[in-house]
Structure 1
Amino acid sequence: MNYEIRTSKTNHPVPVVNDVLLHSIYDPQREAENFVNSNQHQFDNKRKFLILGLGFGYHIAQIERVLGQKKKPYRIYVVEPVKRVAKDFIAQKPVTFTENVTILTGENIHEFYTNENLIDFLLDSPGIIAHPASFNLHKDFFTRFLRYETGTDAASMLQSIKNESVKQYLNDNCRKSWGEMVHDINLSPQFQNAEDYLVLALSSLTNDGNTEQQGEL
């Protein structure tokens, strides 16, 4: 991996991975403002967001600014596959986050899905926003992250899930395939519990769903 940090025209650090600028080399903060403005509709109803791509966090700082103006509690999880980027972000501190932001980094997708806090977060049906430069650069990683399954049926998933409510839900459906679980939920006149939301949310991001590179996936 080729990696360096350049300085923008506005004197902000910009990480460059494999010759790809993760932010504007002219004005990364203005770029972040425009990006958030283009996704403004997502912040009207959601208070929790999963952000795909950290970069140096300019877009996340702007998302925090918008959510903070609404004077309501919010929570953000950020997934960044390149540990070097996350390490340098922490060292450089081009922007700062509140305690409402959690950064998860690494390339082992299985480890993400054994993180109980992340599973709990996903149960609340967060909005999903992809940072365009990061998503395009690591499209394979993020696609695998969104489509990740420990197996094709509920029984195989039990081995890597720690959340007790999710484990019980999967145990109750252990004889069903993932597709059968989704089918049964869709036949129900209403969602029975939060786990139904999680199953449909993850299912919508698999091969059967529609994935966009920008905005809500």
Structure 2
Amino acid sequence: MTRIIKIIETKENVPTIQVNNKFIHSKYFPQKDAKTFIDNNAFIYKGKQHMLSYGIGFGYHAKELLRRVDKNCKVYIFDVDEEIFNIGNELNLFEDIKKDNRVELFIGYSKDFMDKFYEKLQLIDDMLVYNPSIEVLPKNMERFKVALKTFSISRTGMSSFRELAQQNYESNIKESSQSIKTFYEKNKFNDKPVIIVSSGPSLDYNVKYLSDFKGEVQIFAAGSALKTLINNEITPDMICIIDAHEIIANQVKGYENLDVPLCFLNTASREAVEIYKGPKYIFYNEPHEENIVIDTGKSVATAILDIAIKGGANPIIFIGQDLAFLNNRTHAKAYSKVHNLDITVPINKEYEKVQGVNGELLDTNITLLYFKTWIENKISEYPNINFINCSNGAKIKGTTYMELEEAYRLIKNNLVLK
């Protein structure tokens, strides 16, 4: 269905735009409202080195944003609505934006657009979402629209999350923990193999082979995978948590007295950190006095990847890192008990698609695709490290896929992995 688009002059003598009876900007004062919008979202861009904004409309809020961000801040503006952008471009409304060397514009839906979107998301903690641009998207952009609206809705709880993270930080720095630097000093794995255990659905299949590796590798586990490992009589060499919420304490309940290092983000669940009695090591994802910054990538598995890389691990092996849904499940079975969540994939719902390790197309979602891109970009930075994917989900660029038994044979025989 063709959209009905109207250009209307306003009381500020600048144009506004109406799409199917919905205004993208104020009918009367688009510039004034843009200032208010940007002022109300100062917490997103203030003091940041990178800024991502979705939705350009006629550019009024983008111009206000550029007046307020730091002079060295890079601003990435995305909008799939090429039709609206072209109208604004014909009206010469974007000249100042295009001339600003801090700005990168990404307009029009394509694979490259999505790749860049995932790439830039990795640089920021929060993004500026201009909801009116989402509301007027054409029908063929419905899936992208839903994904953006979901992100926008989730932002309503971010202020309370920031408060929770601050409370966790204040509690965690009082704990009798050591630094991540000390963890590296006590646990030498330079040029040694490390297996990163995530809680994807294929972990239930592969975990039975992990016991063969004990003594041959270091096993670094996401807290969400700990129950699956212990249920299979496998004790990891390190556990990692980054999530701030109280329920994360369930990941270590019952295993509080393990003599296994717990590496945790400074804002991670204070309840989990408090109850754990084993050795504890705190790390930060921003510059700190100890000068070792762990790039968390916004998930525990990606944080573990950076910990392994910074410790010089080689090769690095993934299991349970599916980045897709398998057997109608989102996670390994034990995940549902730990987090009190249904891990069944809802039916009658459209999903993104990703190529699996066996060439098939698998269902996934925008969040998992973001993590996939993050991992692939991180891998590309370290061509001298061998990355092996022993998960059964999505193909991960830069890794060699093989069954876990084959990886064990290579490691056991000290064969060169390529």
Residue correspondence of structure 1 range 70-85 to structure 2 within 5 A:
70=70, 72-85=71-84
Q: 1:13 aligned to 12, 15, 21, which one?
A: 15
Q: Corresponding residue for 1:58?
A: 60
AA aligned to 2:62 is: I
The superposition leaves residues 99-132 of structure 1 with CA deviations (integer Å, 9 ceiling, x where unpaired) of 2122222244x443333xx444322225301113
Deviation at 1:42, TM superposition (A): 2.7
Q: Identify unmatched segments of 5+ residues in structure 2.
A: 152-194, 202-220, 225-239, 243-261, 265-282, 286-292, 301-365, 368-418
Please say which of residues 12-21 and 38-47 is displaced more in the overlay. 38-47
Deviation at 1:145, TM superposition (A): 5.2
Q: 1:100 aligned to 99, 102, 124, which one?
A: 102
What SS does structure 2 have at the residue aligned with 1:127?
A: coil
Pick closer, same or farther for the CA change 1:2–1:122 going to 2, 3 Å.
Answer: same
AA aligned to 2:35 is: E
> How many percent identity over aligned positions?
20
- Distance in 2 between residues matched to 1:19 and 1:58, nearest whole Å: 20
- Distance in 2 between residues matched to 1:88 and 1:173, nearest whole Å: 49
Q: Corresponding residue for 1:197?
A: 297
> RMSD in angstroms over aligned alpha carbons?
3.7
- Distance in 1 between residues matched to 2:16 and 2:35, nearest whole Å: 16
Q: Corresponding residue for 1:23?
A: 25
Deviation at 1:181, TM superposition (A): 6.3
- Distance in 2 between residues matched to 1:174 and 1:103, nearest whole Å: 37
Q: Corresponding residue for 1:133?
A: 132
- Distance in 1 between residues matched to 2:150 and 2:37, nearest whole Å: 25
The superposition leaves residues 26-69 of structure 1 with CA deviations (integer Å, 9 ceiling, x where unpaired) of 111101111111112333332322112110010010010011xx
Residue correspondence of structure 1 range 38-49 to structure 2 within 5 A:
38-49=40-51
- Distance in 2 between residues matched to 1:92 and 1:198, nearest whole Å: 40
Q: Corresponding residue for 1:114?
A: 115
Deviation at 1:80, TM superposition (A): 1.3
Pick closer, same or farther for the CA change 1:41–1:175 going to 2, 3 Å.
Answer: closer
- Distance in 2 between residues matched to 1:2 and 1:91, nearest whole Å: 18
Report the TM-score, using the length of structure 1 for normalisation: 0.64
- Distance in 2 between residues matched to 1:32 and 1:7, nearest whole Å: 16
What SS does structure 1 have at the residue aligned with 2:26?
A: coil
Does the Cα contact within 8 Å between 1:122 and 1:198 map onto a contact in 2? no
- Distance in 1 between residues matched to 2:132 and 2:54, nearest whole Å: 10
Does the Cα contact within 8 Å between 1:125 and 1:198 map onto a contact in 2? no
- Distance in 1 between residues matched to 2:223 and 2:127, nearest whole Å: 20
- Distance in 1 between residues matched to 2:23 and 2:56, nearest whole Å: 13
Deviation at 1:22, TM superposition (A): 0.6
AA aligned to 1:197 is: G
Report the TM-score, using the length of structure 2 for normalisation: 0.36
1:177 correspondence with 2:200: yes
Does the Cα contact within 8 Å between 2:52 and 2:124 map onto a contact in 1? no
- Distance in 1 between residues matched to 2:109 and 2:29, nearest whole Å: 29
- Distance in 1 between residues matched to 2:93 and 2:29, nearest whole Å: 13
- Distance in 1 between residues matched to 2:39 and 2:102, nearest whole Å: 21
The number of residue pairs the alignment matches comes to: 175
More helix by share: 1
Larger Rg: 2
Please say which of residues 38-47 and 10-19 is displaced more in the overlay. 38-47
- After superposing on structure 2, the runs of 4+ consecutive aligned residues of structure 1 that deviate more than 6 Å are none
Pick closer, same or farther for the CA change 1:14–1:78 going to 2, 3 Å.
Answer: same
Please say which of residues 47-56 and 127-136 is displaced more in the overlay. 127-136
What SS does structure 2 have at the residue aligned with 1:121?
A: helix
AA aligned to 2:114 is: Y
What SS does structure 2 have at the residue aligned with 1:26?
A: coil
Q: Corresponding residue for 1:35?
A: 37
